[in-house]
């Protein structure tokens, strides 16, 4: 793979704007998405500035040391390492989160899952209820629920100890006392007769057969445990729908993120598990993304 060399980036006195423009073009020519944003994030990190601070310093000359740091960051990106792992940080629902290669990078469509769960919890009078979240990862869903529903109690389950460490640091960073993080396997975990108002999850749902077709950023860098279920893509959906039916109070809600093309089968699974009011909501890209279903016996709520 061609890497930035002095020939590509002739030795000269670089200032911020020309270096941004050069990097944007360099990434674009090599088919990297969001090339300008990537260039800005990496340069801002090299210069220890907030991203928008670059716009106030377009004529700032780079010291040799700063240029060397920037080159090293860009070389990492050229291997397809996601920019969020390079920076060690990302945003989810306007909140900052530490991310490491032990955790999935939170996605914008998952924000819609959380917003939908919050909307329903509030409208059904359960804003101070108990929520089970499955597959903690960085803790993005658990932290966002804990932050935006300060009266709720969130129990969050994760199999990977390394991911749970990251989630612990993110909970501490946001000063949350209403989130309990548990290490465990959703296929064997027992919940001691606990009853929840909602079950929320963004489970691994990429079918094993599709794993090798994922973008290199995902396939080669994000945890395999977080992306594929090692089966047909529905292993977790089946398990969580069954669990939800047993753990939810009457009328309690299950909210699951699902993958492209999974809506019909996932809806069938939820109904066969005994959930009622099953439906699927589209994400901002128009893709069926959020599966919801309700434990029988409650008063229907919007
Ligand atoms: C798709 S990621 C979601 C991470 C995060 N909640 C998010 O939305 O970005 C799924 C998570 O489930 C975890 N996981 C995988 N298998 C599991 C299992 N059997 N039991 C519990 N968690 C599991 C993975 O380690 C990963 O953190």
pLDDT of 2 over the 60 cut: no
Question: 132, exposed or middle or buried, with CB in 10 Å at 0-12, 13-18, 19+?
Answer: buried
Contact 267, 253 (CB under 8 A): no
Mean pLDDT for 149-176 is 98
Mean pLDDT for 280-299 is 94
Query: Is 226's C-beta closer than 6 angstroms to any atom of ligand 1?
Result: yes
Instruction: Report the mean per-residue pLDDT for the chain.
Output: 95
Mean pLDDT for 199-205 is 98
Q: pLDDT digit string (tens) for 86-136? A: 999 999 999 999 999 999 999 999 999 999 999 999 999 999 999 999 999
Query: Is 157's C-beta closer than 6 angstroms to any atom of ligand 1?
Result: yes
pLDDT band at 192 (very low <50, low <70, confident <90, very high): confident
Q: Is 255 helix (H, G, I), strand (E, B) or coil?
A: strand
Query: Is 170's C-beta closer than 6 angstroms to any atom of ligand 1?
Result: no
Mean pLDDT for 230-243 is 98
Angle, helices 140-148/161-173, rounded to nearest 10 degrees: 30
**Atom 13, ligand 1: which residue's CA is nearest?**
135
Beta strands in the chain (DSSP E): 89-92, 95-98, 130-134, 153-158, 179-183, 196-201, 248-257, 276-282, 288-294
In which order are the strands placed within the sheet that holds 196-201? 179-183, 153-158, 130-134, 196-201, 248-257, 288-294, 276-282
Q: pLDDT digit string (tens) for 62-93? A: 999 999 999 999 999 999 999 999 999 999 99
User: What's the CA-to-centroid distance between 274 and ligand 1, angstroms?
Assistant: 24
Query: Is 225's C-beta closer than 6 angstroms to any atom of ligand 1?
Result: yes
Report the distance separating Cα 142 and Cα 113, nearest Å.
Answer: 12
pTM: 0.94
Given the DSSP bridges, would you call strands 248-257 and 288-294 parallel, antiparallel or unpaired? antiparallel
pLDDT of 159 over the 60 cut: yes
Query: Is 106's C-beta closer than 6 angstroms to any atom of ligand 1?
Result: yes
**Atom 9, ligand 1: which residue's CA is nearest?**
106
Angle, helices 235-247/263-272, rounded to nearest 10 degrees: 40
Q: pLDDT digit string (tens) for 41-62? A: 999 999 999 999 999 999 999 9
User: What's the CA-to-centroid distance between 158 and ligand 1, angstroms?
Assistant: 6
Contact 138, 165 (CB under 8 A): no
Cβ neighbors of 195 (< 8 A, separation 6 or more) are 130, 247, 248, 249, 252
| pLDDT for position 154 | 98
Contact 256, 203 (CB under 8 A): yes
pLDDT of 282 over the 80 cut: yes
Query: Is 185's C-beta closer than 6 angstroms to any atom of ligand 1?
Result: yes
Report the distance separating Cα 105 and Cα 172, nearest Å.
Answer: 19
Residue with tokens 């299950």: 254
Q: According to CATH, what is the number of the domain 90-294?
A: 3.40.50.150
Query: Is 202's C-beta closer than 6 angstroms to any atom of ligand 1?
Result: yes
User: What's the CA-to-centroid distance between 113 and ligand 1, angstroms?
Assistant: 15
pLDDT of 6 over the 70 cut: no
pLDDT of 1 over the 50 cut: no
User: What's the CA-to-centroid distance between 135 and ligand 1, angstroms?
Assistant: 3
Cα distances (angstroms) measured from residue 104 to each of 6, 52, 68, 220: 35, 26, 29, 12
pLDDT band at 300 (very low <50, low <70, confident <90, very high): low
| pLDDT for position 280 | 98
Q: What is the DSSP letter of 54?
A: G
């Amino acid at each position: 793979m061609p890497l930035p060399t002095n020939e590509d980036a002739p030795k000269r006195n670089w200032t911020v704007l020309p270096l941004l423009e050069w990097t944007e073009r360099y990434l674009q020519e090599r088919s990297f998405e969001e090339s300008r944003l990537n260039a800005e994030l990496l340069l801002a990190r090299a210069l220890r500035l907030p991203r928008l601070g670059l716009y106030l310093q377009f004529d700032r000359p780079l010291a040799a040391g700063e240029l060397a740091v920037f080159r090293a960051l860009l070389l990492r990106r050229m291997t397809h390492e996601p920019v969020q792992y390079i920076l060690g940080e990302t945003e989810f629902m306007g909140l900052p989160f530490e991310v490491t290669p032990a955790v999935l990078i939170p996605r914008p469509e998952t924000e819609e899952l959380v917003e939908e769960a919050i909307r329903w919890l509030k409208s059904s009078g359960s804003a101070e209820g108990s929520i089970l979240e499955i597959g903690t990862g960085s803790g993005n869903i658990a932290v966002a629920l804990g932050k935006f529903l300060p009266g709720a109690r969130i129990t969050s389950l994760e199999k990977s100890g390394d991911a749970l460490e990251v989630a612990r640091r993110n909970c501490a960073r946001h000063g949350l006392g209403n989130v309990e993080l548990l290490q465990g396997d959703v296929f064997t975990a027992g919940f001691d007769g606990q009853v929840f108002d909602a079950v929320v999850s963004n489970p691994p749902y990429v079918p094993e057969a599709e794993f090798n077709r994922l973008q290199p950023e995902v396939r080669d860098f994000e945890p395999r445990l977080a992306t594929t279920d090692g089966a047909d893509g529905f292993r977790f959906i089946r398990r969580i729908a069954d669990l939800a039916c047993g753990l939810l109070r009457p009328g309690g809600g299950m909210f699951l993120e699902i993958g492209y093309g999974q809506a019909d089968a996932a809806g069938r699974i939820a109904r066969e598990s005994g959930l009622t009011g099953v439906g699927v909501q589209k994400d901002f890209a128009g893709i069926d993304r959020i599966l919801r279903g309700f434990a029988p016996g409650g008063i229907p709520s919007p």
